[in-house]
A and B are shown apart, each in its own frame.
Chain A
Amino acid sequence: MKHITDFTIVCREQLGKHYFALTLRHPDLLPPIAAGQFVEVEVRNCREVMLRRPISIHDVDSSANTLTLLVQIVGNGTRQLATLNEGDTLNLIYPLGHGFSLLGNNPLLVGGGAGIAPLLYLAKCYNDRGVRPTILLGGRTKELIPVREAFEPYGKVLYSTEDGSLGEKGLVTQHSLFFAPYDHICTCGPTPMMKAVGRYAVEKGIPCEVSLENMMACGIGACLCCVTDTVDGHKCVCKEGPVFDVTKLADFLENK
């Protein structure tokens, strides 16, 4: 069941210049949340922004009724959200979409930029199943990766940057441990990265799930604005995604 409700910001953390994390508390118990699901955040007091903004659920603490969002500042909406402080309220519609399957016993989670966000809760959910994933986080430079120590307890964390400022130098798909024999891959990040990861997975026959970030208006399957082309025709990323099996995405694996 989806909800629309106010949360209170209980913690705001700036993560370098481009990212911040907000931990939000609700007075009531949170509904069940699957890794990969997202929220639609209302942006108040911003003349340029009317529509809500979709943001992944980065972390959940059901014993404290909190969830955490990890946000990259890219435009008016996210810039306005960055001005919020502890004690402020934030209205959310959540939990939305269809999350990761949590399949595999030796999974690789690959994240780039803000696409790192859903991977923390995903790693935790794998741990709840007794599976320790490998987590590969990438970006152009160290500044563009929201480094989160929070990942460390939940898996083996690897980094790659194009300038070598953190971890191995190069793209995530060039990392020496990218080619280890994983039995499942989950990825979220810039489209070219997800395409490269997806192509590799398909080539090797490794099941692969990608989390798409299409532009959304409603987030609940009502407007049909957010579609992606699949082998079964147009599907709403907000409802049938954002997580898709890569082999279902028509055109996604073509180099274009």
Chain B
Amino acid sequence: MNRAHTKKVTLLVLIFNLTVVNLSTKIHNITLKNPVMTASGTFGYGEEFADFIDLSRLGGIIVKGTTGERRQGNPYPRMAETPSGMLNAVGLQNVGVETFCREVYPRIKDIDTKIFVNVSGSSIEEYCHVAEMIDELDNIPGIELNISCPNVKKGGMGFGTNPDMAAQVVRAVRQVYHKTLIVKLTPNVTSVVDIAKAVEQAGADSVSLINTLLGMAIDVERQRPYLSTITGGLSGPCVKPVAVRMVWQVAHAVQIPVVGLGGISTAADALEFLMAGAKAIEVGTANFLDPTVTVKIVEGLEDYCQRHHIDDINDIIGII
């Protein structure tokens, strides 16, 4: 009886293992091996995590925000911990697009995953310049256009907070960039749906959301703000319900694929976004707490599908 039982278990395990779950999803014309990507500014160029995980297990990597010129970013202090989250004011510190293409790209181009460059700028010309240069790189199948940046020529107003300005920058980049164009939306707006529709109209192939929520924290002992810039971007588990809501709203309003992010740290979190309508997700702040978290999420998604007898992850995308 004991032996029979063992046999039965072995058989079950075998059958179980033979249930191949399809985790692969598509963003525009890019096939991701699974929906788990990493969020810009939280995963360096991927290299910083190579000691901890096999980077080829990831669906995609979105590298650091890249601008036309090298940027120093904001003065220290640039980070403050807040309940279940953190504020940052890094301010787009990066090596600039030329150094990226010349020095960084050759180091990372052969990582067996989809690598996207997060493109930032202070003017439409700068966005276009960066996008054009990235367009030349064979192993970068797409960019994520970060339109949360202030438009210096328009008095620092965020490109992403006004539908016309958002459409304008997307239209301009669309002219010069020929691969997959994901536009990353800011949550600091009255109607994220209006912005999403505007960038879809302007030629975006996909939208990702959310970027950080504008926040602020004060050190009452020292009687001053924690950040050198006074305000900064909130991220981490505390923003997740806001992000899920926005992803759900946008997924119902546009035809293009939606990439969801904001506070994801477990497979269950990722599933919330997928069910709300995201075709893929990005993991940000959670990488700081556990550099192996992305692979755990991939494994967790697989496990979930097996437990629920789902053989294709696409079957649960947008079910809410």
Residues of A within 8 A of B (CB): 1-4, 42, 47-52, 93, 214-229, 233-234
CB distance from A13 to the nearest CB of B (A): 28
With both beta carbons as reference points, the residue of chain B lying nearest to A228 in the complex is identified as: B76
Which residues of chain B from 40 to 73 have a CB within 8 Å of any chain A CB? Answer: 41-44, 48-49, 51-52, 72-73
CB distance from A216 to the nearest CB of B (A): 8
- Determine which of A1, A50, A93, A234 lies in contact with B72 in the assembled complex, contact meaning CB atoms within 8 Å: A234
Contact B292–A50 (Cβ < 8 Å): no
Residues of B within 8 A of A (CB): 41-44, 48-49, 51-52, 72-73, 75-81, 83-86, 88, 90, 93, 236-237, 285, 287-292
CB distance from B203 to the nearest CB of A (A): 31
Contact B90–A218 (Cβ < 8 Å): no
Indicate whether A51 sits within 8 Å of B86 (C-beta atoms), given known contacts A93-B291, A223-B42, A233-B72. yes
Indicate whether A217 sits within 8 Å of B79 (C-beta atoms), given known contacts A4-B52, A222-B287. yes
With both beta carbons as reference points, the residue of chain B lying nearest to A3 in the complex is identified as: B51
Taking A217-B79, A224-B78 as known contacts, 9 extra A-B pairs with beta carbons closer than 8 A to each other, sorted by chain A number, are: A50-B81, A51-B288, A52-B289, A93-B291, A214-B76, A217-B81, A220-B291, A222-B43, A223-B88
Contact A225–B81 (Cβ < 8 Å): no
- Determine which of B75, B79, B84, B291 lies in contact with A229 in the assembled complex, contact meaning CB atoms within 8 Å: B75
Query: Cβ of B76: which chain A residues have Cβ within 8 Å of it?
Result: 214, 226-229
Contact A49–B73 (Cβ < 8 Å): no
Query: Cβ of B77: which chain A residues have Cβ within 8 Å of it?
Result: 214-215
With both beta carbons as reference points, the residue of chain A lying nearest to B84 in the complex is identified as: A50
CA separation between A225 and B77, bound complex, in Å? 7
The interface centre, meaning the residue of A51, A216, A228 with most chain B CB atoms within 10 A of its CB, is A51
| Inter-chain residue pair count (beta carbon < 8 A) | 84
CA separation between A152 and B78, bound complex, in Å? 39
CA separation between A56 and B105, bound complex, in Å? 34
Query: Cβ of B84: which chain A residues have Cβ within 8 Å of it?
Result: 50
With both beta carbons as reference points, the residue of chain A lying nearest to B290 in the complex is identified as: A4
Contact B79–A2 (Cβ < 8 Å): no
The interface centre, meaning the residue of A215, A218, A228, A233 with most chain B CB atoms within 10 A of its CB, is A218
Q: 17 A-B residue contacts at CB 8 Å?
A: A3-B51, A50-B85, A51-B288, A52-B288, A52-B289, A93-B291, A217-B79, A217-B88, A217-B285, A218-B288, A220-B291, A221-B48, A222-B42, A222-B43, A223-B42, A225-B90, A229-B75
Contact A225–B79 (Cβ < 8 Å): yes
Indicate whether A223 sits within 8 Å of B41 (C-beta atoms), given known contacts A50-B84, A50-B85, A50-B237. yes
Contact A234–B93 (Cβ < 8 Å): yes
Which 8 A/B pairs are nearest by Cβ-Cβ distance?
A: A225-B79, A218-B288, A222-B44, A2-B51, A222-B48, A224-B90, A217-B288, A221-B48
- Determine which of A1, A224, A226 lies in contact with B51 in the assembled complex, contact meaning CB atoms within 8 Å: A1
Contact A226–B79 (Cβ < 8 Å): yes
With both beta carbons as reference points, the residue of chain B lying nearest to A93 in the complex is identified as: B291
The interface centre, meaning the residue of A1, A51, A223 with most chain B CB atoms within 10 A of its CB, is A223
- Determine which of B51, B72, B289, B291 lies in contact with A51 in the assembled complex, contact meaning CB atoms within 8 Å: B289
Contact A48–B90 (Cβ < 8 Å): no
Contact A225–B83 (Cβ < 8 Å): no
With both beta carbons as reference points, the residue of chain A lying nearest to B44 in the complex is identified as: A222
Contact A51–B42 (Cβ < 8 Å): no
Contact B86–A227 (Cβ < 8 Å): no
Query: Cβ of B78: which chain A residues have Cβ within 8 Å of it?
Result: 224-225, 227
Contact B86–A50 (Cβ < 8 Å): yes
CA separation between A228 and B93, bound complex, in Å? 13
Query: Cβ of B51: which chain A residues have Cβ within 8 Å of it?
Result: 1-3
CB distance from B120 to the nearest CB of A (A): 14
Query: Cβ of A49: which chain B residues have Cβ within 8 Å of it?
Result: 81
Query: Cβ of A225: which chain B residues have Cβ within 8 Å of it?
Result: 78-79, 88, 90
CA separation between A42 and B86, bound complex, in Å? 16
With both beta carbons as reference points, the residue of chain A lying nearest to B94 in the complex is identified as: A224
